Amino acid sequence: MIIEIDNHSGVPIYAQVIEQIKQYVLSGNLSEGTQLENVRSLAARLMVNPMTISKAYNQLERDGIIERRRGIGMFVKPMSKGIKKDFKSQTAKESFKKAAATAVLMKYTEEEAVDLLREMYRKLKNEEGEDKDE
């Protein structure tokens, strides 16, 4: 699982971790019952204070995304497909609303906005393809 930390974004590190794990789980890229990397290992990998990871895991547990099995570790929690779907569409909507708002503000036409989206979408799709080849 790839997690990227941006130290300059102003967003707290623990929040970045939460956000990215949430997306992995709810997009289906991290399936139910999978064990999460342990705190110390992930902390070492991200070169971050273990407390920070621990805080993120705790928050994810409170959010009902993952569950703690005593003495074993953290696991992705089973969720109804309905909830997942809701989350997906809600997340997507928020993200697209922001993009649309920017476009309207910058006085882009609808077609210009669509073109820009297609461009970015394809670029990311290609990168994804390359990642799989590795």
Partner DNA sequence: GTGGTCTAGACCACG
Partner DNA sequence: GTGGTCTAGACCACC
Write out the residues near DNA by the rule CB under 7 A. Answer: 10, 12-15, 36, 38-41, 48-49, 51-52, 54-55, 57-58, 61, 68, 70-74
| Ordered DSSP codes for 9-58 | SSS-HHHHHHHHHHHHHHTTSS-TTPBPPPHHHHHHHHT--HHHHHHHHH
Residue 3 or 68 having the CB closest to a second copy: 68
Residues of the shown chain interacting with a second copy in the complex, contacts defined by CB under 8 A: 7, 12-13, 23, 26-29, 49, 62, 67-71, 88, 91-93, 95-108, 110, 113-114, 116-118, 120-125, 128
- The first and second tokens of residue 67, run together, are 């569950």
Query: Phi and psi dihedrals of 75, rounded to 5?
Result: -130, 150
Q: Which does 36 bind (CB under 5 to 8 A by kind): a second copy, DNA, none?
A: DNA
- In the block, residue with structure tokens 């289906």: 28
Q: Which does 41 bind (CB under 5 to 8 A by kind): a second copy, DNA, none?
A: DNA
CA distance 54 to 46: 13
Q: How far is the CB of 126 from a second copy (least distance, A)?
A: 10
